[in-house]
Chain A
Amino acid sequence: SAVISQKPSRDICQRGTSLTIQCQVDSQVTMMFWYRQQPGQSLTLIATANQGSEATYESGFVIDKFPISRPNLTFSTLTVSNMSPEDSSIYLCSVEEGGEYGYTFGSGTRLTVV
C-alpha cells in the first residue's frame, strides 16, 4: 500500500497565524483527501484535491480558510489560515488505494492554537 509522509506531526500556533501541512505520497495518486478530527470527535472531510484542478470543498469549509495546493500526483498541502482556538484538531491527509485496499492515511498533524 501507499506510504504517506505528513509534516509537521504537531505544532502549537498563535491565533491569527497560518500553518501549512504537507503530505508526500510514495506513488502517484489521482485524488488526495484532507480530513479534520476535532478533539474527541470523528473525522470530517474538508476537501478533495485532484491534481491540476481546484480542490472540491465540503459544506462548511471554504477555500479562504483552508487553501489547498496539489502541484503534482504525489504531493499536496493544506493551509489552516487565520487560526483560532477552534481550529485545534488533528488534520489528516488520505489517498484511495482502490477497492478492498481502502484508504491510507498520513500520520496526522496535531494542531493546537493558543
Chain B
Amino acid sequence: AQKITQTQPGMFVQEKEAVTLDCTYDTSDQSYGLFWYKQPSSGEMIFLIYQGSYDEQNATEGRYSLNFQKARKSANLVISASQLGDSAMYFCAMRVLNQAGTALIFGKGTTLSVSS
C-alpha cells in the first residue's frame, strides 16, 4: 500500500538553528514524486519543495532542502536558519496513481515551533 509516514508530531527549534523534519514513504511504483507543504494557522497550503524519484541530486529551494535517500525511502525536509515565521504545520506528500489518474496523499504532519 502507498503510504507517507511522519513520526514527529511536534518539533521545537530556536531561531537561526537548522531543523530536520522526517518523512518516510512506501510505494511499489518506480516513478513517483515527493512534496513538502507548509500550512500556517491560516489554513492555506504552501508548496515548498519537490523531489522526483529519478532526480539524482537533492532538491533545494532557498532555506529548504530535501534529504532524499531512495534506498531507505526517506525524504526529510531540512530548514536552515529557522525563522519565527517558519512556525507552522508541515506535511510530506507523495503523488500516486489512482483510479482517476494521479493525486497526492499526505502524511499526518509535523508541527514546528520556532522560538526566539
Partners in one complex: yes
A: which residues have CB within 8 A of B?
1, 31, 33, 37, 41-45, 47-48, 50, 56, 58, 90, 92, 94, 96, 99-105, 107-108, 110
Is A48 in contact with B101, judged by CB distance below 8 angstroms?
A: yes
**Interface size bucket, B side?**
20 to 34
Stretch at the interface among B11-19, B20-28, B71-79, B102-110: B102-110
The verdict on A45 contacting B43 (CB below 8 Å), with A31-B100, A102-B35, A102-B50 known, is no
B: which residues have CB within 8 A of A?
33, 35, 37, 42-45, 47, 50, 52, 91, 98-109
The verdict on A56 contacting B102 (CB below 8 Å), with A41-B108, A100-B50, A108-B43 known, is no
- Which residue of the partner chain B has the closest CB to A1? B47
Residues of B within 8 A of A107 (CB): 42-44
Name B43's contact: one of A33, A56, A104, A110 (CB within 8 Å): A110
A sample of 17 more A-B contacts (CB under 8 A), given A42-B108, A94-B104, is A1-B47, A33-B103, A43-B91, A44-B106, A45-B98, A48-B98, A50-B100, A56-B100, A90-B43, A92-B45, A94-B45, A99-B50, A101-B50, A102-B50, A103-B47, A105-B37, A105-B44
For this complex, 10 residue pairs linking A to B, each with C-beta atoms less than 8 Å apart, are A31-B101, A33-B103, A44-B106, A56-B99, A58-B98, A99-B33, A103-B35, A103-B104, A108-B44, A110-B43
